[in-house]
Amino acid sequence: MSGAQSEKTRRRKSKAACALLLATSIFGLLRPTLSFAQETELRGEVSESAILSDQQRKARLAAMAGQGQQQPANAAGQDDTPSRTYLPASAGAVLDDSDAASPAGSIFDPPTAGDDATADNPPPPKPRRPSATGQANAAKARAADTSKTKKKNTTATTDATTTASTATADDADDADAAGTDQETANRRAVTIDSVDRQKLDPGAERTASIEGQKTKAEDDPFAAPGIKWGSFVIRPTLEQGLTATSNGDSSSAGKAALLSETALRFSAASDWRENSATIDGYGLFRETVSGYPVHNEQGRIEGQLNVDLDNEQRAVAKLGYEAVPESASSPDAIAGVSRQPLRQTIDGSLGIEKDVGKAQYTLTGAVSHDFYGDAKLSDDTSLSQKDRNSTLYTATLRTGYEISPALTPFTEIELGRRAYDQRFDNEGFERSSTRLGARAGLELDMGEKLAGEFSAGWLREAIDDDRLGAIAGATVDADLKWSPERGTTIGLTGRTTVEPTTTAGESGDILYSGRLTAERQIRANLTGNAALGLDWRDYIGIDGHDRVLSAEAGLTWWLNRYAGLTTRARTEKLTSNLPGRDYTANSIYLGLKVQR
């Protein structure tokens, strides 16, 4: 009986304990709790100094625990930091078994910020790693505290030292783990200054505006920009100045004069895709301001057209016009006239070029017609020069072989006929002639460094009148451009010209002309040039010759891209074994040049 009563008593006590446990659990679940955001220390931005101070505090607590000292109550409360919560690496990931079994995953842990359904703010984003400066400072602080702890423990007993060392090591590991957890939890704890000092990702830099980008420097910033006209670019130049000379017309009777000199030059080039065309011209006007009377007008215009044909063929066509008064130093100059006759020339040519492997063939036909105006005598009468009008027809066959892209030797054969408008001149001589010539030379093509050609040969013009001897002699021709360095150009030109005459009993002469020129760009807006010249004239039928030496130097200073000041000095001297032909002329020029 007593056993049955004791069994009933135990059941009642068990039911009462279960009811009490259930009531306690319900009370615990209903108890209001603070938000996790108010219990943690991470509220907003945390500076590196705060992180360092917290890590030093934990290191001191670890050292005190190793020495057996009692920790302050508030320190123990502050060190109660919640454990890290596992964050899945990707959406849909689940916790590992070890993480699920750990106390960190217990349902009795304090609720996190994400568990509060009444929270207005969303869960904070994943923090990032603290800066390298904060980690370095924290490591230095831990190393210093550990060193101090070791120094204080050197006076303790062996057992105490061993125990303290073991405790210190364990606490240090706990402190390191806590520090690591704290660092991991405070990855966003960076100062504003540290963010500003971070190096910007080059890929995130903004692209500069077009106006702010650096432009390539021009090779010649003072070159004429040109005027666009249809498919051509025209570059005109106007030069106006004064010339002071010791010999107004470069003759044996010339005297000093001050001349007004105007020069107009222009060039036009096409911008076609395949073929090309160029037009060049100049006009020169000289008028006396004071001193020896001079009135001189001359000019020339010439055009060239290059057309690519089929089967490696090219066509080159040229057409030109020139008007030049007879020079006072010419062998055909008329003495005692107020104005020399005007010589006008119309010339044209057509050439066909053909490449066969490395062999090159060129056949060129040319026509040149000269006609003269009347000479004006000092008594205002005129002297006709129509008996000097003539036309020269020539055909030239050129054959070359390309040894290399830079060297091409060639040979030329020339056939021609000079026909006068009047069969007999005013003195009764039949001046028409037959022309025959041959040359051999070398063509160079080394780009901007060296380019051009030179040749030497023999030329003969047999006059129809048996009383006059043939004009024959060696020929030398050259046209070379050499650039030893950027901004410097040296040129060499040579030409052999047959000059017929209508002087009684004379056949004419051969004129050899050579020029050595140099141009140097001293500065971007300052250009210097110099020239040396040598002319040799050999008369046929008489023992006579002329020699002309000349030298010139000049400077051009560009004020801007469109205007500049120019000056030049020139000297020229003619020496002849024929009477009345020697002269010397020195001159200096100063003017303004305008280009577009």
pLDDT in tens, 28-72: 555 544 444 444 444 445 566 667 777 778 877 877 776 655 545
Distance, CA of 293 to CA of 378 (rounded, Å)? 13
Question: Alpha-carbon distance 402 to 357, whole Å?
Answer: 9
Distance (Å, whole) CA 328 – CA 293: 13
Report the alpha-carbon angle 35-40-45, nearest 5: 115
Rounded Cα distance, 570 and 592, in Å: 18
| pLDDT at 208 > cutoff 90 | no
Phi, psi of 581 (to 5 degrees): -120, -15
Mean pLDDT score, 354-382: 92
Kind plus residue range of the DSSP H or E element containing 301: strand 295-309
Higher pLDDT, 204 or 171: 204
Q: Are 228 and 268 in contact (CB under 8 A)?
A: no
**SS3 state at 380:** coil
On the question of pLDDT at 365 being above 80, the answer is yes
- Express each pLDDT in 93-110 by its tens digit: 444 444 444 444 444 444
Q: What is the spatial distance between Cα 587 and Cα 286, in angstroms, rounded to a whole number?
A: 14
Query: In this structure, which amino acid lies at residue 269?
Result: A
Does pLDDT of 83 surpass 80?
no
What is the pLDDT at residue 460? 96
Order of strands, sheet of 375-377, starting from the edge strand that comes earlier in the sequence:
337-339, 375-377, 382-383
For residue 73, pLDDT over 50 is answered with no
Q: What is the pLDDT of residue 203?
A: 57
- Which band of pLDDT confidence, cut at 50, 70 and 90, is reported for residue 442? very high
Burial class of 27 by CB neighbour count within 10 A (0 to 12, 13 to 18, 19+): exposed
- Whose tokens are 């320190």? That residue is 75
Note whether 472 and 459 are within 8 A (CB).
yes
Q: What is the pLDDT of residue 145?
A: 52
E strands, 102-191, in order = none
Q: What is the mean pLDDT of residues 287-305?
A: 94
Cα-Cα-Cα-Cα dihedral sign, residues 110, 115, 119, 122: positive
pLDDT of 196 higher than 60: no
Per-residue pLDDT band at 198 (split at 50, 70, 90): low
Measured distance CA(272)–CA(274) in Å, rounded: 6
Lowest mean pLDDT among 89-98, 244-253, 276-285: 89-98
Structure confidence at residue 554 as a pLDDT band (50, 70, 90): very high
CB 339 within 8 A of CB 295: yes
Classify the C-alpha dihedral 224-228-234-237 as positive or negative.
negative
Buried b / exposed e over 170-204, threshold 16 CB at 10 Å, is ebbeebbebbeebbebbebbbbeebeeeeeeeeee
Lowest mean pLDDT among 125-134, 164-173, 309-318: 164-173
Q: Do 483 and 452 form a contact (C-beta atoms < 8 A)? A: no
Average pLDDT value for the chain: 79
| More confident: 16 or 563 | 563
> Per residue in 379-403, pLDDT tens?
888 888 999 999 999 999 999 999 9
